[in-house]
């Protein structure tokens, strides 16, 4: 056999083997990354379907492709459910990710050179809201001039009055006025002051966009805030974090912006919009309608419990005086023990998967983002596996052993794998023929 054929065969076998090993690894770990989740088996079925091989350019009912009869039914239903779940007049399931949903909003509401106000990354902002010099999408891709919100360190939130003064100064000194205010965050512990920011935006005739990537499932469950009712012109999101759908994006808005967004989505930003994921999002929206009031409430209770137990373990959980969190996230300053990167690596070797994160004090300290002072935790995935307060106590203990008491991580990893055996099914879903991380083979190759 030629070496090319051998390489091809070996590559094929390796990818299949590594995918199985990834499943094995995840099923033995405690998943605490705040931006991920485990979708229901029905969502996984959608992702494996033929829909992922098709095109349906345009909005449902206005297609430029044939063969869309079932696709149209699915996407039309998805749009209807999205409008109902979020109380939106316009819903668009075409953005293929949260970042693409943000670019759609930047394109519909602003033009290159316009000023956009957004949170700095150490204050919780996402890189897609960021400046050109940091490689941020708003600056680099859409050419917006990004100005940061003033930040209230004590409340981990936007300082609206400070921002007003900052913008007055910008206008006085540079003659510039904001066109767009971005809300929502990647570190998102407490609801944002949407109403106050919408009031400020109105003074400039600017638009307000709320990025619900992290909190989409909590909003669907009516346990966070309601950005459209509070004054947002559009809401963007990823569909795979607290919403627990497939990796995709979505945009919600009002009837008055419908034509602007339709033009931006197609032909502007998408041709193929990943129809298997559209079906998955539609399933997730149905699950949200049925189960998320309970799911979202449990996620937030678990986040508060985890924070409380981590403090008992000797860890510095931020914002205890504010109840730690009102979302799925918990922010821990690990700098007393080590850097965030070392904490992330050590926890991973104990089977606990978290991510290092900049925390507000890093902005002043100018800490290197590769080894920030904190770690960010999210309870949405462990909650979906059926964990409750007692399990949060157990997780905090594992983390305390690794980070504070410097127990051998490989010993903890064995106990973590044992602990995980009791949590195998996806909750808050309609149908459950396979386990949460069960590997499904279609190739027949083992």
Ligand X SMILES: Cc1ncc(COP(=O)(O)O)c(C=O)c1O
Cβ pair 334, 323 in contact under 8 A: no
What is the smallest separation between the CB atom of 128 and ligand X, expressed in angstroms?
5
Nearer to ligand X, 99 or 167 (CB): 99
Q: Is 185 in the site for ligand X (CB under 6 A)?
A: yes
What is the smallest separation between the CB atom of 203 and ligand X, expressed in angstroms?
25
Q: Is 238 in the site for ligand X (CB under 6 A)?
A: yes
The only residue of 27, 107, 128, 355 in contact with ligand X, by rule CB under 6 A: 128
Point out which span in 51-59, 97-105, 381-389, 412-420 binds ligand X (CB under 6 A).
97-105
What is the smallest separation between the CB atom of 15 and ligand X, expressed in angstroms?
23
What is the smallest separation between the CB atom of 337 and ligand X, expressed in angstroms?
26
Point out which span in 6-14, 211-219, 382-390, 400-408 binds ligand X (CB under 6 A).
211-219
**Residue in the shown chain whose Cβ atom is closest to ligand X:** 98
What is the smallest separation between the CB atom of 390 and ligand X, expressed in angstroms?
29
- Gap between the Cα atoms of 310 and 208, Å rounded: 36
Q: Is 296 in the site for ligand X (CB under 6 A)?
A: no
Nearer to ligand X, 265 or 416 (CB): 265
Kindly compute the dihedral angle of the four CA atoms of residues 307, 313, 317, 323, in this order, to the nearest 10 degrees. Answer: 40
Nearer to ligand X, 192 or 214 (CB): 214
Nearer to ligand X, 376 or 384 (CB): 376
What is the smallest separation between the CB atom of 167 and ligand X, expressed in angstroms?
22
Q: Is 97 in the site for ligand X (CB under 6 A)?
A: yes
What is the smallest separation between the CB atom of 137 and ligand X, expressed in angstroms?
9
Count of residues touching ligand X (by CB under 6 A): 14
Which x/- pattern, by CB under 6 A, does the window 108-127 give for ligand X? Answer: ------------------x-
Nearer to ligand X, 98 or 136 (CB): 98
Q: Is 357 in the site for ligand X (CB under 6 A)?
A: no
Q: Which of residues 74-93 bind ligand X (CB under 6 A)?
A: none
Point out which span in 196-204, 208-216, 318-326, 406-414 binds ligand X (CB under 6 A).
208-216
What is the smallest separation between the CB atom of 346 and ligand X, expressed in angstroms?
23
What is the smallest separation between the CB atom of 374 and ligand X, expressed in angstroms?
15
Q: Is 99 in the site for ligand X (CB under 6 A)?
A: yes
Nearer to ligand X, 68 or 158 (CB): 158
Q: Is 186 in the site for ligand X (CB under 6 A)?
A: yes
Q: What HEC string does the chain produce? A: CCHHHHHHHHHHHHHHHHHHHHHHHHHCCEECCCCCCCCCHHHHHHHCCHHHHCCCCCCCCCCCCCCCHHHHHHHHHHHHHHHHHHCCCEEECCCCCHHHHHHHHHHHHCCCCCEEEECCHHHCCCHHHCCHHHCCHHHHCCCCEEEECCEECCCCEECHHHHHHHHHHHHHHHCCCEEEEEECCCCCCCCCCHHHHHHHHHHHCCEEEEECCCCHHHHHCCCCCCHHHHCCCEEEEECCCCCCCCCCEEEEECHHHHHHHHHHHHHHHCCCCCHHHHHHHHHHHHHHHHHHHHHHHHHHHHHHHHHHHHHHCCCEECCHHHCCCCCCEEEEECCCCCCHHHHHHHHHHCCEECEEECCHHHHHHCCCCCCCCEEEEECHHHHHCCCCHHHHHHHHHHHHHHHCCCCCHHHHHHHHHHHHCCCCCCCCCCCCCCCCCCCCCCCCCC
First to last CA, the chain: 22
- Gap between the Cα atoms of 195 and 180, Å rounded: 15
Nearer to ligand X, 246 or 339 (CB): 246
What is the smallest separation between the CB atom of 238 and ligand X, expressed in angstroms?
3
Residues that bind ligand X (CB under 6 A): 35, 97-99, 126, 128, 184-186, 211, 213-214, 238, 249
């Amino acid at each position: 056999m030629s070496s090319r054929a051998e390489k091809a065969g070996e590559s094929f076998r390796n990818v299949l083997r590594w995918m199985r090993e990834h499943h094995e690894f995840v099923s033995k770990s405690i998943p605490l990354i705040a931006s991920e989740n485990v979708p229901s088996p029905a969502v996984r079925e959608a992702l494996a379907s033929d829909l992922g091989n098709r095109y349906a350019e345009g909005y449902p009912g206005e297609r430029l492709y044939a063969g869309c009869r079932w696709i149209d039914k699915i996407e039309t239903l998805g749009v209807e459910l999205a409008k109902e779940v979020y109380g939106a007049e316009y819903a668009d399931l075409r953005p293929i990710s949260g970042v693409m949903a943000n670019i759609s909003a930047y394109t519909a509401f602003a033009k290159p050179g316009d000023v956009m106000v957004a949170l700095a990354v150490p204050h919780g902002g996402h890189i897609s809201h960021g400046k050109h010099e940091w490689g941020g999408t708003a600056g680099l891709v859409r050419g917006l001039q990004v100005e940061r919100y003033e930040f209230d360190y004590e409340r981990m939130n936007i300082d609206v009055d400070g921002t007003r003064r900052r913008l007055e100064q910008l206008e006085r000194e540079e003659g510039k006025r904001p066109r767009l205010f971005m809300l929502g965050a990647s570190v998102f512990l407490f609801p944002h002051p949407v109403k106050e920011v919408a009031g400020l935006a109105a003074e400039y005739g600017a638009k307000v966009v709320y990025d619900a990537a992290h909190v989409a499932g909590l909003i669907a469950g009516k346990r966070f805030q309601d950005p459209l009712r509070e004054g947002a012109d559009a809401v963007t999101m990823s569909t795979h974090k607290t919403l627990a759908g497939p990796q995709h994006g979505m945009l919600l808005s009002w009837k008055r912006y419908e034509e602007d967004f339709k033009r931006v989505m197609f032909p502007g930003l998408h041709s193929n919009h990943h129809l298997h994921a559209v079906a998955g999002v539609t399933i997730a929206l149905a699950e949200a309608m049925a189960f998320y009031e309970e799911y979202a409430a449990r996620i937030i209770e678990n986040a508060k419990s985890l924070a409380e137990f981590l403090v008992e373990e000797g860890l510095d959980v931020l914002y205890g005086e504010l109840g730690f969190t009102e979302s799925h996230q918990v922010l821990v300053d690990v700098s007393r023990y080590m850097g965030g990167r070392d904490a992330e690596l050590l926890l991973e070797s104990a089977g606990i998967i978290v991510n290092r994160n900049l925390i507000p004090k890093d902005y002043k300290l100018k800490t290197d983002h590769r080894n920030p002072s904190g770690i960010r935790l999210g309870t949405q995935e462990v909650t979906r596996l059926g964990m409750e307060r007692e399990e949060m106590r157990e997780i905090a203990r594992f983390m305390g052993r690794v980070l504070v008491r410097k127990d051998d991580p490989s010993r903890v990893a064995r106990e973590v794998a044992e602990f995980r055996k009791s949590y195998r099914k996806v909750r808050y879903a309609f149908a459950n023929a396979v386990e949460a991380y069960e590997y499904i083979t279609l190739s027949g190759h083992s």
